[in-house]
């Protein structure tokens, strides 16, 4: 469903919006600006990895009501954490090769505050625990049992995260896998979300159950600030999905924000990020990574290794599933 027209017409009547195009081209050439998917920029705005309609709609509801971007991204990604049909995030996530569902998540705000949980079990909303780590402790990352204990102290309920469907899938995988963890290019649906509120402030969140059938104890990029997510309120924000080991190696999201700081558009920055990874993996084709970025003006961009990655964009211009180009684009 598109509602560009309606929203365009109603925008003028909505007080308090920042005029994004005013700051859209700061420090960049016209050519660079043209390569963004949303070249004029738009504020407020929310984007997330993959086609998560309900999650982006929830975040937009918060932004449209005048809420801040931190609440928007938290509430947005919580939709996927609670959905048992998303087998890469939260409740219903696929387990590691021993049958444990272990969750990774992080959140970061406009002031550079951040919180993260890694290898968290039995809690439906790791992003909210990450936010509590950020707000209630002097730390940034809590892991495993300590993170779980902290969650209970904060009032989170214990639940069994392994749904019957994910248990069956795991059992089937065990039969033919010989217990070998795959590099799985199709294991996607991790949600990374970036938002700008009507005050022009950025926040981001990222949450996942990680690579399916991973080695017990493995932590990916998604909860690592700088790798799976990075926010700099002066410049922009980026997030990643796909094989986390490759994203960690290049500190991917931080790299993309730094490239935007140097004048690249979100699109150019994502392309450069993927190319850096591919330079270190010459000839390898067995993994997928997608980067998504937004700059301070509300311009967005994305790029990936293999075709297939899309991102969801929700602003006053409408809401769209945006397909992105890839390094190994079909000729």
Q: Which residues bind ligand SD4 (CB under 6 A)?
A: 88, 187-190, 208, 210-211, 220-222, 241-244
CB 97 within 8 A of CB 198: no
Nearest approach, Cβ of residue 61 and ligand SD4 (Å): 25
CB 77 within 8 A of CB 127: yes
What element of type H or E holds 298?
none
The nearer residue to ligand SD4, 236 or 244, going by C-beta atoms, is 244
Of 102, 190, 207, 250, which is the active-site residue? 190
CA-angle at 327, arms to 330 and 313, nearest 5°: 95
Nearest approach, Cβ of residue 247 and ligand SD4 (Å): 6
Phi, psi of 54 (to 5 degrees): -70, -40
Q: Which two tokens stand for residue 229?
A: 């997510």
The nearer residue to ligand SD4, 68 or 88, going by C-beta atoms, is 88
Q: What's the rounded Cα separation, in Å, for the pair 242 and 208?
A: 11
Nearest approach, Cβ of residue 210 and ligand SD4 (Å): 4
How many CB atoms are closer than 10 A to CB 133?
A: 25
The nearer residue to ligand SD4, 224 or 235, going by C-beta atoms, is 224
Q: In Å, what is the CA distance from 96 to each residue of 125, 164, 197?
A: 18, 15, 36
CA-angle at 186, arms to 159 and 194, nearest 5°: 65
Nearest approach, Cβ of residue 24 and ligand SD4 (Å): 29
The nearer residue to ligand SD4, 32 or 48, going by C-beta atoms, is 48
181 is catalytic: no
The nearer residue to ligand SD4, 48 or 114, going by C-beta atoms, is 48
Nearest approach, Cβ of residue 269 and ligand SD4 (Å): 18
Helical spans, DSSP H, in the chain: 4-11, 21-24, 30-34, 53-64, 69-82, 126-136, 144-153, 164-177, 244-249, 252-261, 266-279
Catalytic residues: 190
């Amino acid at each position: 469903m598109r509602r560009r027209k309606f929203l365009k017409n109603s925008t003028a009547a909505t007080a308090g919006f920042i005029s994004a195009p005013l700051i859209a081209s700061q420090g960049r050439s016209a050519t660079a600006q043209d390569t963004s998917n949303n070249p004029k920029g738009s504020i407020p705005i929310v984007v997330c990895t993959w086609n998560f309609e309900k999650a982006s709609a929830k975040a937009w509801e918060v932004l449209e009501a005048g809420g801040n971007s931190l609440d928007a991204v938290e509430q947005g990604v919580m939709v996927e954490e609670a959905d048992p049909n998303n087998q890469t995030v939260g409740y219903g996530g696929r387990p590691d090769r021993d049958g444990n569902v272990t969750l990774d998540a992080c959140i970061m705000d406009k002031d550079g505050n951040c919180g993260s949980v890694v290898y968290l079990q039995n809690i439906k909303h790791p992003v909210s625990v990450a936010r509590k780590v950020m707000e209630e402790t002097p730390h940034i990352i809590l892991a495993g049992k300590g993170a779980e204990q902290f969650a209970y102290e904060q009032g989170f309920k214990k639940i069994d995260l392994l749904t019957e469907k994910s248990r069956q899938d795991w059992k089937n995988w065990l039969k033919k896998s010989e217990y070998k963890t795959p590099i799985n290019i199709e294991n996607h649906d991790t949600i990374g979300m970036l938002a700008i509120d009507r005050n022009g402030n950025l926040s981001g969140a990222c949450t996942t159950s990680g690579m399916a059938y991973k080695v017990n104890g493995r932590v990916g990029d998604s909860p690592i600030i700088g790798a799976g997510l990075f926010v700099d309120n002066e410049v922009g924000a980026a997030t990643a999905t796909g094989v986390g080991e490759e994203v960690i190696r290049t500190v991917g999201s931080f790299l993309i924000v730094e490239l935007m700081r140097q004048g690249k558009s979100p699109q150019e920055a994502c392309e450069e990020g993927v190319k850096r990874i591919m330079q270190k993996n010459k000839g390898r084709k067995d993994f997928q990574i997608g980067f998504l970025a937004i700059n301070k003006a509300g311009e967005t961009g994305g790029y990936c290794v293999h075709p297939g990655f899309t991102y969801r964009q929700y602003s006053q211009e409408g809401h769209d599933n945006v397909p992105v180009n890839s390094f190994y684009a079909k000729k």
